[in-house]
Amino acid sequence: MTIHAVALGVRQTKVDADLRAFLRDAEPWSLILFREACASRAQVKALCADLREAAGHDAIVYIDQEGGRVARMRPPEWPAWPAPKAYGDVYARDAHAGAEAAKLGHRLIAHELKALGVNGDFAPVCDTPVDGADPIIGDRAFSSDPEAISVLGRAALDGLRAGGVVGCVKHMPGHGRAEADSHLALPRIGVGHNQLGADFAPFRALSDAEVAMTAHIVFEALDPDNPATHSRIVIENLIRQTFGFRGLLVSDDLDMKALSGTLRARAEKAFAAGCDVVLQCSGKIADMAQVLQGAPALAGEAVQRAHAAEAVARAAPAAFDAAAAWWRLRTLIGPSIRAPA
């Protein structure tokens, strides 16, 4: 079969006849669950199995489960995981405890996801927020200290990996300085290389991650004409060479208003710039079809990068006592953490 270099959003609780027929022909590399697709544990487990059957292969099923504001699975059906900043707050008091908390929190996320058939998580956020930036990142970031972000991002990836879930470092090369929300507009960052160095540090430190996501942001000091997702200069010179990232590079959602042009053109520009896989998240078949027109089959080095991600996602989780982990997380972060009943 031909696996296409796309990850497609799912916003329905069941695979209906239209989606089944589309996925059979599309053969996407990955599927992505959104809030509308997550009603109950039993339903999500059945949905994941059905999506893989429709796609015709053992596709990674991703989700955005960062904790805090960005959580597709929410109470009362699922636990409320801490926002990433909670781990940074612990780290500021005790670095060892902060790293332990971040690893535990993400291991608990992986424990829940893996049991349902979800084996990819678009986390951790490794952006460095600065004063005056748009609040879209905010407490999704671990800290405003790049060193803390590097340590906690590593711990988060390790926690996910131990549970058989592949993470994704985002948003390369950095979203924390953006003064606009890229869901709504195209941010432009005008500062020079010296100021950007701190923003880049966590991504350089985590360059051995299996998967990373690009930012729809123009870095004027690097490429004043194109957002990072569409910039070969940013992807090849900075992400691949300077950072040394050798993993699978996926675009942020092509539907976001930071990008312009048709969905097909957006996809083509992302691949031309060096992305391995593009995300299309509306859940609408007409939109998916447009992106597929601009998406090649997964090929070349991208295949090996995808295989490395798949190896993590398909691995059996290590032995784990979730009840003890919730108790320990509460002792590290505080009484606001409540273990599931």
Task: Render pLDDT for 138-149 as a digit per residue (tens, 0 to 9).
Answer: 999 999 999 999
Give domain status of residue 201, yes or no.
yes
Q: What is the DSSP secondary-structure string of 226-250?
A: SBGGG-HIIIIIIIIIIS---SEEE
Question: Counting Cβ atoms within 10 Å, is residue 324 exposed (0-12), middle (13-18) or buried (19+)?
Answer: exposed
Residue 217 makes CB contacts below 8 A (sequence gap 6+) with 171, 174, 175, 178, 182, 186, 187, 188, 189, 227, 228, 258
Read off the tokens for 272: 């031309």
Give domain status of residue 33, yes or no.
no
Give domain status of residue 157, yes or no.
yes
Judge whether 252 counts as a catalytic residue. Answer: yes
Give residue-wise pLDDT tens across range 249-304: 999 999 999 999 999 999 999 999 999 999 999 999 999 999 999 999 999 999 99
Judge whether 183 counts as a catalytic residue. Answer: yes
Domain that holds residue 257: 4-20+38-333
Give domain status of residue 213, yes or no.
yes
> Do the beta carbons of residue 193 and residue 221 sit within 8 Å?
yes
Alpha helix stretches (DSSP H) within the chain: 17-26, 41-55, 84-93, 95-116, 146-162, 193-205, 232, 263-273, 285-293, 301-313, 322-333
Catalytic residue among 96, 183, 193, 307: 183
Catalytic residue among 121, 127, 199, 252: 252
Give domain status of residue 29, yes or no.
no
Give domain status of residue 31, yes or no.
no
**Tens digits of pLDDT across the chain (341 residues):** 799 999 999 999 999 999 999 999 999 999 999 999 999 999 999 999 999 999 999 999 999 999 999 999 999 999 999 999 999 999 999 999 999 999 999 999 999 999 999 999 999 999 999 988 889 899 999 999 999 999 999 999 999 999 999 999 999 999 999 888 889 889 999 988 788 999 999 999 999 999 999 999 999 999 999 999 999 999 999 999 999 999 999 999 999 999 999 999 999 999 999 999 999 999 999 999 999 999 999 999 999 999 999 999 999 999 999 999 999 999 999 988 877 76
Side-chain half-sphere CA neighbours of 128 within 13 A: 19
Task: Supply the CATH number for residue 62's domain.
Answer: 3.20.20.300
Give domain status of residue 28, yes or no.
no
CA distances from 319 to 107, 111, 162, 316 (A): 11, 10, 9, 9
> Do the beta carbons of residue 223 and residue 263 sit within 8 Å?
no
Give residue-wise pLDDT tens across range 295-304: 999 999 999 9
> Do the beta carbons of residue 39 and residue 129 sit within 8 Å?
no
> Do the beta carbons of residue 13 and residue 39 sit within 8 Å?
yes
> Do the beta carbons of residue 165 and residue 121 sit within 8 Å?
yes
Total count of domains within the chain = 1
SS3 171: strand
Distance CA(114)–CA(107), nearest Å, equals: 10
Amino acid at 252: D
This prediction's pTM: 0.96
Give domain status of residue 340, yes or no.
no
End-to-end CA distance of the chain: 44
